[in-house]
Structure 1
């Protein structure tokens, strides 16, 4: 069983990761998350980033190093990771990589209830989903190819490759599901099962 984290937000793991590289202030952390494309997989706002920094500080995983002022900009507090923070980062990352985790995507919920819609309706909306997936797959491939062309090493893009693999698998699944839903046997079975409730 996975142990309970003092700061369980995945954004905290990203903050610890960047602070492993060097001390920095939250504004710079946010900028680097966006520049590196990590914000595609870790959703955050400026306020949520500052909240996580505060939580990590209270937990003893990071500490204030100094306050700096760059020209006309307001003062900014630079944070650095502690030994306890390093340990937390490595332990948490190892656990996430080693143990499959039950996640509850919205699409799985919809799939569990799809028999409550007429087959034609389901097929229509799934075709829309398939088209949207195609766009996202193309965008992901283009972003990965562009990063590789700029000299970014493949291991810095591994989460994008994972996301692409999931989207491609989902696209294949949805394509097969549409075929199953349009088969005369399913339509007849659905009509018999739903009867007057349809």
Structure 2
């Protein structure tokens, strides 16, 4: 295929939903893969007034690399550390109301992403293979867990005073805003 076909397929397949591959960086990635010998140029085609397009194919080294990456991915069960956990551990100096607000914002964003994902899955359902369907379920379940964890975190966080009494952190924040 040529880069435009690959880009079109990636957009059609919604590659960005299930990978870190950005469609906009495709041509740079094709050049790097060609430099590494993972793909090779087969020919150049030109249709009408369209620009000439280079056709690529995967090499034997490319197939071996693909197999190795796939196998490593399927065998890797290590969960990557979540930076949120570190932020919470070193955030003892953060005023409680700011922390609560940040977690509430995260919860809203995750809930919206979960809802978006559910709608996308529902629209895609007639076209999904059983394995693709399970991929959607996997992401939905991960988002559901994140939402539940953030809800639990909010319940566990100290609740800032709501009776109008300002904490020293509130007073400091107000003083900083007034000086700005």
| TM-score band w.r.t. shorter chain | 0.7 to 0.9
* 2:15 equivalent to 1:42: no
CA-to-partner distance for each residue in 1:124-164, whole Å, 9 max, x for gaps? 22112111111100000111111113x22131354443332
Range moving further from structure 2, 50-59 or 89-98: 50-59
* Alpha-carbon separation, structure 1, partners of 2:88 and 2:21: 25
Range moving further from structure 2, 132-141 or 102-111: 102-111
Aligned-pair Cα RMSD in Å: 2.5
Q: How many residues in Structure 1 have an aligned counterpart in Structure 2?
A: 162
TM-score (norm 2): 0.78
Q: Which has the higher contact order (CA 8 A, sep 6+)?
A: 1
* Alpha-carbon separation, structure 2, partners of 1:49 and 1:93: 20
Following TM superposition, the consecutive aligned residue runs of length 4 or more in structure 1 with deviations greater than 6 angstroms are none
Selected match of 2:63 from 86, 90, 96 = 86
* Alpha-carbon separation, structure 1, partners of 2:29 and 2:138: 26
Pair 101,27 (structure 1): closer, same or farther in 2 beyond 3 Å = farther
Q: 1:130 maps to what in 2?
A: 107
Q: Is the 8 Å Cα contact of residues 148 and 154 (structure 1) preserved in structure 2?
A: no
Q: Which 5+ residue runs of structure 1 have no aligned equivalent? A: 1-23, 185-190, 192-198
* 2:142 equivalent to 1:166: yes
TM-score (norm 1): 0.72
Q: 1:139 maps to what in 2?
A: 116
Q: Which 5+ residue runs of structure 2 have no aligned equivalent? A: 161-166, 168-180
